[in-house]
Structure 1
Amino acid sequence: MMFNWLSLVTGLFYIVLGVVVIIYKFFFTVLEPAIAYAMGAVLILYGIFRIYRAISRIKDSGNEK
């Protein structure tokens, strides 16, 4: 159960990281704008996926009890 909540927090972290990469165009090194937008979009999408998966697992674990 704790893993599901941790996955939810991790998803939020990925979304914030994606927004930061898009705004500052920096991820361990200065990025070209096109690469920053693409990388930021991938991070945001992955964060949304993690949150969706965590919510669905939390709902499923609630139905089992």
Structure 2
Amino acid sequence: MFKWLSLLAGFIYIVLGIVVIIYKFFGVVLEPNVAYALGALLIAYGIFRLVRAATSIKNKD
């Protein structure tokens, strides 16, 4: 169950990163450079979680 939740969290981080880049808002209005950096960081972390969960699911099955 945790592995599937980790997949879901990865997708949520990616979507949140895209939203931050597009709207430049994360609780407060962000400068464009900060929004791009934070969005990229969130997307990278989401991809990391997806890859880690996928390899964990693949190794168990």
TM-score where L is the length of structure 1: 0.93
Identity %: 66
Could you list the structure 1 runs, at least 4 aligned residues long, displaced by more than 6 angstroms after superposition.
Answer: none
Q: Look at both structures and tell me which one has the larger radius of gyration over its CA atoms.
A: 1
Q: Which residue of 1 aligns with 2:50?
A: 51
Q: Which residue of 2 aligns with 1:18?
A: 17
Q: Which residue of 2 aligns with 1:29?
A: 28
Name structure 1 gaps, 5 residues minimum.
none
Does residue 7 (structure 1) correspond to residue 6 (structure 2)? The answer is yes
1:10 is aligned with what amino acid?
A
C-alpha deviation, 1:35, in angstroms: 0.1
SS in 2 for 1:31: coil
Name structure 2 gaps, 5 residues minimum.
none
